[in-house]
Amino acid sequence: MIDTSRIIYSINIEDIQNVAEEELGRKLSERELEIVKDKIGDYIDWYGAIDLAIQNGILNPGENATSE
């Protein structure tokens, strides 16, 4: 039986801080991290990412097509 609650992909604080250092030249404060944490899900196209993975990995595995 498949555990449907198992996490497939996650973003952690280190990931966010790495982007902040690249884009801002510094790490985010605790307050800033909370803001990003509360907003990040609004900007991720989960459906599109899952659909693209299905298309590229299952329906067309040899094509390696991307949305870029």
- The SS3 assignment for 18 reads helix
Distance CA 34, CA 31 (A): 5
* pLDDT higher than threshold 70 for residue 65: no
Q: Is the pTM of this model over 0.85?
A: no
Q: How many domains does the chain divide into?
A: 1
> Which of 10, 46, 59, 56 has its CA nearest to residue 67?
56
User: What is the per-residue pLDDT across 11-64, written as a single tens digit (0 to 9) for each?
Assistant: 999 999 999 999 999 999 999 999 999 999 999 999 999 999 999 999 888 775
* pLDDT higher than threshold 60 for residue 67: no
> Which of 25, 21, 20, 23 has its CA nearest to residue 37?
20
Range of the domain at 18: 1-68
> Which of 43, 40, 59, 39 has its CA nearest to residue 51?
59
